[in-house]
Structure 1
Amino acid sequence: MKTMTDNFMISFLQRFDEHPFDVKIHGKTHHIGNGNPTFVVDLKEDIEGKELLTSTSLALGEAYMKGNLEVEGDLFEALDSFLGQMDRFSTDRSKLKKLMFTSQSKKNQEKEVTSHYDIGNDFYSLWLDETMSYSCGYFKHETDTLYEAQCNKVERILEKLCLKKDMTLLDIGCGWGYLLIRAAKEYGVKGLGITLSHEQQKEFEERIEKEGLTGQIEVARMDYRELEKSGRQFDRVVSVGMLEHVGRANYELFVKNVDSVLKPGGLLLLHYISALKEYQGDPWIKKYIFPGGMVPSLREIIHLFGDYRFYTLDVESLRRHYYKTLRCWEQNFSGHRQEVEEKMGTEFARMWELYLSSCAATFHNGIIDLHQILVSKGVNNELPMTRWY
C-alpha cells in the first residue's frame, strides 16, 4: 500500500521538474528534475492522491501547516522554484465550489474581513513596521528600510492625488490610519477612513486623539456599499489593498459607490493586488488566510472605469516592490516566530510563514502583480501634464 502511495506521489511531483529537488518518503530519497537538488521535501506522512488532485495547494499547504511536510533548505527558495509552476497544480473547482465561491453579502464579507484583520493588533505589530502599513511599500533606494519604504509609498500616493489644504479625502479600507494621518498633517486635508475591522478602528481612533487630529479626520466602521446613501462628497478617494475583498460580482458596485461620493473632477487612486487574467484564486489562501479573497485582473477594472466616465491618468506596477516588502515581513516574522508560536500555536505560526513566503514567491514569479491606478471623474484639465511624482 505504501509503495502504491509513494509511486503516485513521485509520479505526481514529476510534473514540477523545472527546478531539481529531492523528495524523502518512508526513508527513501527520490530525485525530481535534472541536476543537483536545490531543496529537499521530507514527507513525514502520506498525502492522499485524491487530495492532491482535488487541490494541490490545499493538500501541500495543510501538510506543511501540520508538520507532515518539511522543507530542508530555504523555504522561500523552495517555494520560488515550485510556485513558478502553479499552472501544473490540480484544482477541482466543482468539489471546491463552497470554498471558491463564497457569499458576497455584507454580513458574510464583514465576517471574512474581520477573520483576518481582527487577529489582533499585537500580532501585526510584531512584524509590520512602525506605521502599521499592511500593504506594498515603495523602495526608492536599494538600502531603504521597510519603514522608509512604507513612508515612501504613502508619500507617492499623496503626491499622485494632488492634495491641497482643506480638501476632503476618503480612504476606503483605511487600515490603522497612517495614510490619512499623514495627509491631514502634511496637506491640511479633512478625511474619513472606513474599515470593517474592530481592531483597526480602535487603533486608528487612538492615533487620531494622540496626533491631535480630532475633528479633522475620523474613522468609521462602514461597508463601501453604504457610501452611496451616506450623502457625503469628497475631493479625493483612495483605496489601498481593499479591492481584493470586494469579489468579482461586486467590482462595478464598488466603482458605482465611489462615483456617488466623488466630486466632478475629483481623483481616485486604487492600489490593489492584480493579475494578468481573471481567475478564482488559490484554495489554500481562501481557506486559511483571506476567506472570500479575489485578485482582480488589471483589464477588468480598467474596463469598468469607462462606463462611469472615469479617465485613466496613470497605471503603475509595483510588483517587485511587493516582493521586497514581503521578504521584509518574512524576516520580521521569523525574528518573532517564537512569540507567535507561544501565543497562537505552532500550526498558526507555520501557516503564516508559509503564507508570507509563498506570496513573496508568487510576486517574484509574476503570478500576481500590484497596480496603482489613478483616474479622474470626468475631465480634469487642472492637473500637471507630466508624471510629476
Structure 2
Amino acid sequence: MTTTQQRTQQQRRVTVGEALTSVLPEGLPFRLTAYDGSAAGPSDAEITLHLATPRGLSYLLTAPGDLGMARAYVTGDLQVSGVHPGDPYDLINGLLGQIKVHVSPGEAIRLLRGLGLEHLKPPPPPPQEHLPRWRRAMEGLRHSRVRDADAIRHHYDVSNTFYEHVLGPSMTYTCALYPKPDASLEEAQADKYDLVARKLGLEPGMRLLDVGCGWGGMVRHAVREYGVTALGVTLSKEQAAWAQAAIEREGLGDRAEVRHADYRDVTESGFDAVSSIGLTEHIGRKEYPAYFGFLQDRLRDGGRLLNHCITRPTNRKVNVGQFIDRYVFPDGELTGSGNIITAIQDIGFEVRHEENLREHYALTLRDWCRNLVENWDACVAEVGEGTARVWGLYMAGSRVGFERNEIQLHQVLAVKVGPDGDAQVPLRPGWGS
C-alpha cells in the first residue's frame, strides 16, 4: 500500500456509529442511531438514543461529559425513545456506570478527523444555560449579594405556574418526609413541615424566622398549625409575591409575612426559632461562619435552629458537575454533614440532634417527576420544551444520586445555649425520633 493510500485510508470519513463502537469496546447498553444513517448497539434495546443533527455531535465533542450530553439533549439534538422526557429515570439509572470509554490518544485523533474537524467548533449553548464560573466572576464575587440574587433568579424565577404543575398544591421545593413509601406528596410535605415545627418546639405566641422560605410553606404551616408569628425571606421576587398572596388568601396576614429580601437584611432579633430549609446549599462553605453567626444573632437564648439541606456523603471537597452548575444551581455548593455540624458548633451553637433523610428525597423527586410527566404539555407551554427537559433530567438524575448515596439530606437541630448553660430542651426529644 502506498503512502498516499495509507493517508487516504486514515483520513476516510468515520460514521457516528463506528466511532462509538470503537471507543466502547465493552458494548453499548442502549441502541444509538444517528443523522448519518449509522447505528450501534443492540437492535432490541428498550431505550434508543438518536443523534439527530451535526450540531448535536459538535456539542458532544466540544464538551465531553455531562455538559455536552445536556446541551444536545436540551436542544433536542439528542432524542430518546423508551422514556418520557419528564422522567428519564430509567435511562439514567440503567446507564450509570455501564459506559466505559477506552481510547488511545492516537485513536482519538483518527476518529476526530474521520468525523470531521469542523465539529470541534463549539455551537452556541442553549438559552437555558447559565454563564460559566469564570464569566460570573466578572460580574461579582462568588456569594456576593449580586451573584446570589442572580443565581436565585436563574433557578427560582422560572414561572410560578410551572412550579405549581411540578410541586403540586404544597408549592414546596424541598425534601418531603414519607410516613410510608406510597404516601401522597402532599401528605409527605405536611409531615416534613410538622417534623421541623416539633423539632423547633413551636408553641402559640412564639416567633419564627424562616430564611430561604420559598413559597412560604413553612411560614404558613407554622402559623396555621402552631399559632406562631412567622417571618419568611426569599431572594426570589416571584416566590415572595406568590407566598404573600397565599398568606392573604388563607387569612394569615396578621401573623405571617414573606419578604422579598436577602436574609442578611433581617434586622429583627429575639426569635424563638429559625428554620433554614434548603438554603445552605446556596450559601457557600466559606460563608458558613458568617451565615450561622447571623442566624445565632437573630435568636434569643434558648432559641433553636433547624438546618435542613442537601449534603455529600463525604466531608472532602467534591466538585459540582457542569450540568448542575450551568443549568440548575449556579454557584451551588454541597459538603458533608460533618462540615456543617462543625461550622454550627464553632459559632457557639449546641447541636442536639441530626438525621439523614436521603431516601425521602429520592421519593420526593419520584413524585415531582410524576407531576412533570402528567402535566408535560402544560409545562412545555409555560416554559418551553428545553427548560422542561432540563427539569426532567435534573430531577431524575438527582433521584438516582440519592438512591445511590452520592448525595444526602441532613437535618441538624441546634440551640443557642444561655450563659447559665440551660438549653431549654426536654430530657428526651418530643418528635418521635
Q: TM-score range by the shorter chain?
A: 0.7 to 0.9
Write the letter of the residue equivalent to 1:382.
V
Distance 1:373 1:289 in 2: 25
Q: Say yes or no: does 1:193 pair with 2:193.
A: no
Q: How does 1:306-321 map to 2 (within 5 A)?
A: 306-321=345-360
Which deviates more, 379-388 or 178-187?
379-388
Q: Describe the SS at the equivalent of 1:272.
A: strand
2:179 aligned partner: 140
Which of 325, 334, 340 is the equivalent residue of 1:301?
340
Distance 1:49 1:174 in 2: 41
Distance 1:14 1:125 in 2: 45
Write the letter of the residue equivalent to 2:342.
H
Q: Say yes or no: does 1:56 pair with 2:95.
A: no
CA deviation after TM superposition for structure 1 residue 151, in Å: 0.8
2:75 aligned partner: 66
Which of 98, 103, 113 is the equivalent residue of 2:134?
98
1:385 aligned partner: 428
1:253 aligned partner: 290
Conserved 8 A contact 2:159-2:382: no
Q: Say yes or no: does 1:159 pair with 2:198.
A: yes
Conserved 8 A contact 2:229-2:256: yes
Conserved 8 A contact 1:317-1:369: yes
Q: How does 1:24-43 map to 2 (within 5 A)?
A: 24-25=33-34, 26-31=36-41, 37=45, 39-43=47-51
Q: Say yes or no: does 1:236 pair with 2:273.
A: yes
Write the letter of the residue equivalent to 2:29.
P
Which of 312, 316, 329 is the equivalent residue of 1:275?
312
Distance 2:294 2:225 in 1: 28
Conserved 8 A contact 2:181-2:363: no
Q: Describe the SS at the equivalent of 2:180.
A: coil
Distance 2:179 2:414 in 1: 24
Q: Say yes or no: does 1:80 pair with 2:126.
A: no
| CA distance 1:357–1:150, change in 2 (3 Å) | same
Q: Say yes or no: does 1:169 pair with 2:179.
A: no
Distance 1:112 1:84 in 2: 31
Conserved 8 A contact 1:80-1:365: no
Conserved 8 A contact 2:274-2:304: yes
Map Cα deviations across residues 32-69 of structure 1 (whole Å, 9 max, x no partner). 9xxx8553332223555895574411100111111121
Write the letter of the residue equivalent to 2:221.
R
Write the letter of the residue equivalent to 1:39.
I
Map Cα deviations across residues 301-343 of structure 1 (whole Å, 9 max, x no partner). 1111221122222211111111111111111111111122223
1:20 aligned partner: 29
Unmatched tracts of structure 1, length 5 or more: 89-94
Distance 1:119 1:276 in 2: 30
Q: Describe the SS at the equivalent of 1:295.
A: coil
Map Cα deviations across residues 126-150 of structure 1 (whole Å, 9 max, x no partner). 1212111111111102331111111
Write the letter of the residue equivalent to 1:98.
W
Structure 2 length-normalised TM: 0.79
Conserved 8 A contact 1:38-1:78: no
Which of 243, 248, 252 is the equivalent residue of 1:204?
243
Q: Say yes or no: does 1:333 pair with 2:372.
A: yes
| CA distance 1:71–1:221, change in 2 (3 Å) | same
Q: Describe the SS at the equivalent of 1:3.
A: coil
Distance 2:169 2:427 in 1: 33
Unmatched tracts of structure 2, length 5 or more: 1-11, 102-130
Distance 1:238 1:136 in 2: 14
Which of 14, 18, 43 is the equivalent residue of 1:3?
14
Write the letter of the residue equivalent to 2:89.
F
Conserved 8 A contact 1:55-1:283: no
CA deviation after TM superposition for structure 1 residue 349, in Å: 2.2
Distance 1:175 1:59 in 2: 31
Structure 1 length-normalised TM: 0.87
Write the letter of the residue equivalent to 1:195.
T
Q: Describe the SS at the equivalent of 2:334.
A: coil
Q: How many residues align?
A: 377
| CA distance 1:166–1:313, change in 2 (3 Å) | same
Map Cα deviations across residues 278-307 of structure 1 (whole Å, 9 max, x no partner). 323121122122222222321211111221
